[in-house]
Amino acid sequence: MELRIAGITEESVVDGPGLRFVVFVQGCRRRCPGCQNEDTWDPAGGYAVAVTELLEQIKHARLIKGVTFSGGEPFLQPAPLAWLGRQVKKLGLDVVTFTGYTWEELLSLAQENRAVKELLEASDYLVDGPFILSERDLSLPFRGSRNQRIIDLHKERVVEDLD
Ligand code: SF4
């Protein structure tokens, strides 16, 4: 199974709690003004990679606490990410997924799309909502605008920070 990505970062401290392996997926339809990742918008851009290859890279990453799926829009490629997320969790690592959808939109989509449901189940935390320039706030942990929220998907509630 392949995933189209813009790239990876093997060691990040700004994409979730602790040291993290980050997968930046390719493709996003939202075109939020002020988006920091415009290079990830084109669904035909980036490059395809086998999820098994990404898993091998993650296994060799040292000292990471978890893996982050960012973008681009992860929920445009939910099936390969759900598979990868499940394997990552088997390694004892956590999964944080950033999305331009709201949590409520994804719960609705999950009723019809099994892969969306599986990606939600494979994620420990969701950082949701599009970037809104007029609500930009650089003081927020792991978010760019005030409308975006951190959801603890185990507790099924909004939390203030990732831990
Ligand atoms: S949802 Fe995220 S990646 Fe997509 S345009 Fe908005 S800020 Fe950029």
Asked whether residue 161 carries a pLDDT value surpassing 90, the answer given is: no
pLDDT of residue 55: 98
pLDDT at 100: 98
What's the rounded Cα separation, in Å, for the pair 151 and 103? 8
Per-residue pLDDT band at 145 (split at 50, 70, 90):
very high
Question: Which ligand 1 atom minimizes the distance to the CA of 71?
Answer: 3
Q: Which residue is associated with the tokens 């994804």?
A: 106
pLDDT of residue 163: 76
Query: What stretches of the chain show up as alpha helix (H) in DSSP?
Result: 51-60, 78-90, 103-110, 114-122
Residue nearest to atom 8 of ligand 1 (CA): 35
What are 150's two structure tokens?
Answer: 């951190």
Q: Which residues line ligand 1 (CB under 6 A)?
A: 28, 30-32, 35, 37, 40, 71-73, 100, 130-131
Q: How many angstroms separate the alpha carbon of residue 81 from the centre of ligand 1?
A: 18
The CATH architecture assigned to 2-159 reads Alpha-Beta Barrel (3.20)
Run of H or E residues at 4: strand 2-12
Q: Using an 8 Å Cβ cutoff, are 80 and 53 in contact? A: no
